[in-house]
Every structure is written in C-alpha cells, then in structure tokens.
Amino acid sequence: MTRRSIFIALFTAIVSLVILAIGTSTAFAFRCGSRLVNVGDTKAEVLSKCGDPNFMDQSEETTNTMATSRTTKTGWARYRTTGEATSRTTLTETWTYNLGERKLMKILTFEGNVLKKIEDGPYGNGPSRW
C-alpha cells in the first residue's frame, strides 16, 4: 500500500467515526439560557430553569410479575410459583422544548419525578426561546 492509500483509508475511518458520534442523539445535559439541565434533575428544577415546555405527553406502563422460588436437589432444579404477584406502574412524561429556528428541539423523558433521558428532536421553528 502506498502512503496515499493509507492516508485515504485513515481519513475515511476518522470521518465515519465523527459522523457516527454526531448522529447519536442522547445527551446528559442541555442549556436553558444560562442554566444547565442535567439527567437526574427533578421536574421542579427543570421548570424553574426552563419554564413550561411547548408540549407534554404522559404514558403509564404496568408490569406484572409472578414470584418464583427455586429448589435444587442433587443437580436438578425445580421451580415453583409461590403465587405472589407483584405489579409495578411507571408514569413516564415526555416534555418537548422548541428552542427556535436552526436549533434542535430537546425531548426530556421523566420517570416519576426524575429526568431520565435528554434527546435531540427535529429542528425547531419560530423565534429563539432564550
């Protein structure tokens, strides 16, 4: 291989990695004006930093599980249902902030009262929010 072909291959690999890194849309924080919103913040903290979102959506997910016990005798495992059912309901809220033209919208996902995920949405429209 010549130096030129090695350089082209290396350059192509670096550009591909940069494109992949830019393409990831999950963040751990974003700015509302001069204030920083972080994963782990509460709804009240986000409201005080950013104000009301442009859009809110709520969903509820219930998961049911049946408890089981395991006993082992000489290498054989036996599973027995104990009859204890547990149910867990998780309230998920999604808040969307439109940051204005030429800026990506921010989509915040709360589980309960805690911010769990910050994602980039499509480009916004209208004047800048801050």
CA–CA gap between residue 93 and residue 109 (Å, rounded): 6
* pLDDT tens-digit series, residues 64-80: 877 666 655 655 666 66
Q: What is the pLDDT of residue 116?
A: 95
Query: Could you tell me the end-to-end alpha-carbon distance of the chain, in angstroms, rounded to an integer?
Result: 53
**Mean pLDDT confidence for 8-28:** 65
* pLDDT tens-digit series, residues 23-67: 445 678 999 889 999 999 999 999 999 999 999 999 998 888 776
Q: What is the pLDDT of residue 46?
A: 97
**Mean pLDDT confidence for 88-115:** 93
pTM of the model: 0.64
Q: What is the pLDDT of residue 25?
A: 54
Q: What is the pLDDT of residue 129?
A: 76
Domain assignments of the chain as residue spans, ordered by start = 26-123
Main-chain phi, psi angles of 118, to 5 degrees = -125, 125
pLDDT > 70 fraction of the chain, expressed in percent and rounded: 76
Q: What is the pLDDT of residue 24?
A: 46
